[in-house]
């Protein structure tokens, strides 16, 4: 059986098992079965209910007779047995139902069950169900038209067949690849006592370099080389991030066009430096392709502590990423304390079922009923946030906070509703309405993509502007306290559900008074947000919906906001959507664009189509190669397929000369729905983050300039082979040596048995594959397979990929049955 939990959570002995029965039940729906057994010694009182989260909306009229499954809000559902008697010890309930879409992996299963006892007692967490294996075609495919094969061992073996293990000398030493790097075969030695000379403006960089040298030996044979840090132009390289790294046997000279350039050179030096202080001698000249190289972390769906965030910033800096998009708010959480509005975190950062009935947000994404134990609870104090800002700034990373509105705003709406209730009870009606975000008379009927019915701010209220101004003002104050500039605030703006505002008297009155439709109402809100930010000296950023308008059934650039102070992060470009070239059209229309394409740069999506691979897959499956192979200025240069595996022959409008200049860079998105632990965050982020860094920094590989498709694909395949070797032989072992090693995803091996011989390979050459034939799980002490091996006549062989710490990938099992 399979468990979705990273670590099983305790609870009463109620066994919960779940199985997908078939995805072929009907179009866009699947059937499933829940089996619930009372393994306690006591009866559970009548009137009990089980609540749980699921991303697949249950169809209420399909539930087994005698039971109900009600949709409460968001992804929270409640199973009950109306009129039933007590739940006796040892007895089971079997409930079948249908739900929208499909279930092909552990991510699609319900999770985070908790019991609401019939006697009125407190909610009790039960944890996640045991999930039956997905073995049959109707369990592994989304529908009969799903052409994408399951990524099993044989499929992986075929995919990896084009890869080859390269000699270490043929593998790049620096990631992302520099513009120019030449080494001459000699060596330079450094110790932790290496003399370090630097200009006063480089004190921060010198301090970071000194910390890098700290673990090195105190003495080295022949003495240590000197280190020199300096500012100045770098021949042949443009931009403030350019650097020169000149390594000779007795001296290491680092020159940067700015302190940021010097910092970049230090990151390259760190990759060249062995644990014993040895460096290859040579010259590196380098500068980035794009000025914006970002990573987004969503901490609203699941909270990530300060140390987790600082660790991610360190990793970003190591690979020369320079923008941290901090997704601080959403429907499921508000994470930054705002002194003037304590309810924002007093309510919006607490998720679960409070025993005392105090206000909190409902459990989401399996976070459970216990507020204090929930991965959905937590916030950053002012001191925490200042720590993050200063840590990022020292590493030349700009922090771009996001406060999502007017949709995706339920945490804020709920918090301000509670503030309203509290102040009304205290006899202060004016104060109660000062920051109200909802229209109490609103009867709008809508459902967001994440199944919320009350997550949209009423943008006709003057109190909304006061709320935004107050939040922005405090955020500006925190940046000033940190001594860090604030240039941009991201306001979200995505996925406002159809139907929002239509039942609000306040919104209807404003639209009628101005002669507006809903689009114009929304545009007015964006204009007001821009004006508020401008008063604070901050530029506006939002997702692509903020810059689009629907015309003749298509989403087209809205000419109203185009300009240098409007930054658009374009995500909704999935193949087959008709929006594949949305980013290019917006850039051509005058918008500043950050490429955030879901099909290549959404790191919350599953790496591959496999039942045990965590992550969503609505825009397809995103491997490390997906980020590496992304064409920022010509996304159509490589063959594409839609999420169902069908070829897509979309004709993309390319960016024109001016449009190319408005594409500022790339950003990876790590949404938090499935990142309920630090280990899961590591797994989803890496090694995809390295593919992102390569494509954002390294020179244009020129694939799009090769006219013949076969030659173009061959060139891209060769480049990927080198990068895959770079990860397997250099970068992942380096991450293993970090002070706090990363639990990055290890790709399971590909494997087949042919004529009694076991053949195996791996997606990142250089990683070790070990196997067993005795039924035990493989370990690093098991035989390693580097060439085909003969196997017994029958039985099972188990294989796994291993890192240099002895950590294993998911185990692959093959049944042996040959003559």
Residue 343 lies in a domain: no
Q: What is the CATH number of the domain that holds 206?
A: 3.30.379.10
Domains of the chain: total: 4
Same domain, 581 and 640: yes
- Output the pLDDT for position 5: 39
What sign does the CA torsion over 145, 147, 148, 151 have? positive
Q: Do 121 and 201 belong together in one domain?
A: no
Same domain, residue pair 696 and 549: yes
Looking at the structure, tell me whether residues 165 and 111 fall in a common domain.
Answer: no
For residue 31, name the pLDDT band (cuts at 50, 70, 90): very high
**pLDDT at residue number 12:** 53
Residue given tokens 């994470």 in the structure block:
335
The rounded distance, in Å, linking the Cα atoms of 521 and 523 is 6
**3-state per-residue secondary structure call for 660-675:** HHHEEEEEEEECCCCC
Query: Is residue 563 domain-resident?
Result: yes
Average pLDDT taken over every residue of the chain: 95
Neighbours of 596 (CB within 10 A): 24
Q: Is the pLDDT of residue 690 over 50?
A: yes
Backbone angles phi, psi at 325, to 5 degrees: -85, 110
> Does residue 463 lie in a domain region?
yes
Check whether residue 567 and residue 676 sit in a common domain.
yes
Of 719, 742, 769, the domain-final residue: 719
* pLDDT for the residue numbered 709: 87
What does the pLDDT read at residue 221? Answer: 86
Residue 58 has pLDDT above 60, yes or no: yes
Residue 722 appears among annotated catalytic residues: no
The pLDDT value recorded for residue 2 is 36
Catalytic residue from among 495, 512, 623, 673:
495
**253 φ/ψ angles, rounded to the nearest 5 degrees:** -110, 125
- Tallying the residues shown for the chain, one arrives at 819
Q: Map tokens 């009463």 to a residue.
A: 12
The verdict on residue 304 lying in a domain is no
pLDDT of residue 164: 97
pLDDT confidence band for 18 (50 / 70 / 90): very high
Residues 741 and 672 in one domain: no
* Residue percentage of the chain with pLDDT more than 70: 98
**Mean pLDDT calculated for residue range 56-63:** 98
Question: Which CATH number characterizes residue 158's domain?
Answer: 2.60.40.10
Q: 3-class DSSP state for residue 653?
A: coil
pLDDT-derived band at 551, boundaries 50, 70, 90:
confident
Domain assignment present for 154: yes
pLDDT at 7: 36
The answer to whether residue 278 scores a pLDDT higher than 50 is yes
CA distance 604 to 617: 9
pLDDT at 639: 67
Element (H, E) at 213: helix 203-213
Please check whether residues 122 and 107 belong to one and the same domain.
Answer: yes
CA 290 to chain centroid? 21
Range of the domain at 281: 180-286
Q: In this structure, is residue 451 part of a structural domain?
A: yes
Residue 658: the pLDDT is 96
Contact 261, 242 (CB under 8 A): yes
- Residues 396, 490, single domain; the answer is yes
Give yes or no for residue 818 having a pLDDT over 70.
Answer: no
* Cis peptide preceding 687, ω within 30 of 0: yes
**Same domain assignment for residues 244 and 268:** yes
Residue 147 clears pLDDT 70, i.e. is over it = yes
Q: What is the CATH number of the domain that holds 462?
A: 3.20.20.80
Both 324 and 384 in one domain: the answer is yes
The structure tokens 């192979």 sit at 629
* Residue 4 reports pLDDT greater than 60: no
| Dist CA 351 CA 359 (whole Å) | 9
Q: How confident is the model at residue 6 (pLDDT cuts 50, 70, 90)?
A: very low
pLDDT of residue 213: 96
* CA 268 – CA 316 distance, rounded (Å): 13
Assess whether 714 and 727 both reside in one domain: no
Paired tokens of 736: 């293993």
**pLDDT tens track for 624-671:** 999 999 999 987 776 678 899 998 877 788 899 999 999 999 999 999
Which pLDDT belongs to residue 578? 85
User: What pairs with residue 130 in β-bridges?
Assistant: 3, 17
538/612 same-domain check: yes
What are the angstrom distances between the C-alpha of 671 and each of 388, 405, 431?
A: 19, 17, 35
CATH number for position 11: 2.60.40.290
Is 378 domain-assigned?
yes
337-349 confidence digits (pLDDT tens):
999 999 999 999 9
Q: Give domain status of residue 766, yes or no.
A: yes
pLDDT tier at 9 (50, 70, 90 boundaries)?
Answer: very low
Q: Among the three residues 700, 719, 738, which one is the final residue of a domain in this structure?
A: 719
What residues form DSSP beta bridges with 663?
Answer: 593
Strand pairing class (750-754; 554-557): unpaired
The average pLDDT across 153-180 equals 97
Enter the pTM of the model: 0.96
- What six digits make up the tokens of 406? 């007017």
Cα separation, 603 vs 671, whole angstroms: 7
Which tokens hold the place of 373? 């134990």
Give whole-number Cα distances, 512 to 194, 328, 505, 516, 585, in Å: 73, 34, 10, 7, 32
Overall average pLDDT of the 457-481 stretch: 98
Average the pLDDT over 616-627 and give the result. Answer: 96
The mean pLDDT value for 288-315 works out to 98
């Amino acid at each position: 059986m399979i468990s979705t939990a990273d670590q099983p959570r305790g609870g009463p002995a109620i066994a919960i098992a779940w199985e997908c029965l078939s995805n072929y039940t009907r179009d866009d729906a699947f059937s499933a079965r829940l089996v619930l057994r009372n393994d306690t010694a006591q009866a559970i009182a009548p009137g009990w209910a089980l609540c749980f989260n699921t991303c697949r909306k249950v169809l209420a009229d399909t539930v087994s007779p005698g039971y109900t499954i009600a949709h409460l809000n968001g992804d929270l559902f409640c199973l009950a047995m109306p009129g039933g008697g007590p739940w006796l010890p040892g007895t089971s309930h079997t409930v079948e139902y249908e739900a929208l879409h499909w279930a092909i992996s552990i991510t699609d299963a319900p999770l985070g069950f908790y019991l609401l006892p019939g006697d009125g007692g407190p909610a009790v967490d039960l944890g996640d169900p045991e999930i039956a294996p997905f073995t049959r075609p109707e369990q592994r495919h989304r529908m009969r038209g799903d052409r994408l094969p399951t990524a099993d061992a044989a499929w992986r073996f075929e995919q990896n067949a084009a890869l080859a293990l390269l000699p270490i000398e043929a593998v790049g030493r620096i990631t992302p690849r520099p513009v120019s790097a030449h080494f001459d075969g000699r060596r330079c030695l450094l110790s932790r006592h290496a003399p370090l000379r630097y200009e006063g403006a480089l004190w921060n960089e010198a301090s970071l370099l000194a910390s890098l040298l700290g673990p090195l030996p105190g003495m080295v044979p022949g003495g240590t080389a000197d280190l020199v840090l300096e500012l100045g132009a770098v021949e042949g390289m443009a931009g403030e991030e350019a650097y020169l790294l000149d390594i000779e046997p007795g001296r290491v000279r680092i020159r940067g066009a700015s302190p940021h350039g010097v910092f970049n050179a230090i990151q390259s030096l760190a990759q060249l430096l062995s644990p014993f202080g040895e460096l290859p001698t040579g010259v590196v000249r380098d500068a980035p392709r794009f000025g914006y190289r970002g990573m987004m972390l969503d901490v609203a769906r699941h909270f990530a502590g300060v140390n987790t965030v600082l660790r991610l910033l360190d990793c970003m800096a190591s690979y020369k990423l320079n923008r941290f998009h901090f997704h601080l708010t959403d429907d499921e959480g508000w994470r930054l304390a705002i002194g003037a509005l304590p309810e924002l975190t007093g309510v919006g950062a607490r998720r679960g079922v409070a025993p005392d009935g105090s206000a909190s947000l409902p459990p989401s994404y399996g976070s459970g009923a216990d507020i204090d134990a929930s991965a959905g609870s937590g916030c950053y104090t002012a001191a925490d946030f200042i720590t993050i800002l200063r840590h990022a700034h020292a590493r030349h990373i700009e922090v771009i906070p996001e406060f999502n509105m007017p949709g995706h705003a339920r945490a804020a709406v709920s918090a301000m509703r509670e503030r309203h209730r509290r102040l009304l009870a205290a006899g202060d009606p004016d104060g109660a309405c000062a920051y109200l975000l909802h229209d109490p008379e609103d009867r709008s009927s809508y459902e967001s993509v994440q199944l919320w019915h009350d997550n949209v701010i009423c943008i006709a209220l003057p109190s909304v502007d006061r709320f935004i101004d107050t939040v922005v003002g405090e955020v500006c104050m925190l940046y000033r306290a940190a001594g860090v500039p604030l240039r941009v605030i991201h306001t979200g703006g995505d996925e406002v559900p159809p139907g929002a505002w239509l039942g609000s008297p306040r919104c209807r009155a404003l639209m009628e008074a101005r002669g507006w439709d809903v689009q114009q109402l929304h545009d007015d809100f964006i204009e007001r947000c821009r004006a508020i930010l401008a008063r604070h000296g901050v530029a506006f950023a939002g997702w692509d919906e903020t810059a689009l308008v629907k015309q003749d059934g298509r989403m087209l650039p809205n000419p109203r906001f185009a300009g240098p102070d409007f930054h658009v992060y374009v995500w909704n470009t999935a193949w087959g959507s008709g929006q594949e070239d949305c980013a290019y059209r917006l850039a051509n229309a005058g918008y500043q664009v950050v490429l955030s394409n879901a099909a290549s740069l959404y790191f919350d999506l599953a790496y591959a189509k496999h039942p045990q691979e965590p992550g969503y897959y609505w825009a397809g499956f995103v491997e490390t190669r997906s980020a590496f192979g992304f064409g920022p200025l010509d996304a159509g240069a490589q063959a594409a397929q839609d999420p169902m595996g069908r070829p897509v022959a979309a004709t993309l409008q390319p960016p024109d000369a001016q449009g190319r200049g408005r594409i500022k860079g790339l950003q990876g998105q790590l949404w938090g729905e499935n990142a309920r632990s630090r280990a899961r965050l590591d797994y989803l982020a890496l090694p995809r983050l390295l593919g992102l860094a390569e494509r954002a920094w390294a020179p244009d590989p020129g694939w799009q300039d090769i006219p013949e498709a076969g030659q173009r694909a061959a060139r891209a395949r060769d480049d990927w082979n080198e990068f895959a070797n770079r990860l397997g032989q250099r970068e992942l072992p380096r991450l293993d040596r970090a002070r706090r090693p990363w639990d990055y995803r290890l790709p399971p091996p590909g494997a087949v048995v042919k004529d009694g011989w076991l053949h195996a390979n791996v997606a990142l050459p250089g990683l070790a594959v070990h196997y067993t034939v005795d039924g035990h799980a493989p370990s690093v002490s098991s035989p390693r397979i580097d060439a085909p091996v003969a196997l017994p006549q029958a039985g099972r062989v188990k294989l796994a990929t291993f890192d240099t710490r002895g950590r294993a990938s998911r185990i692959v099992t093959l049944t042996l049955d040959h003559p």
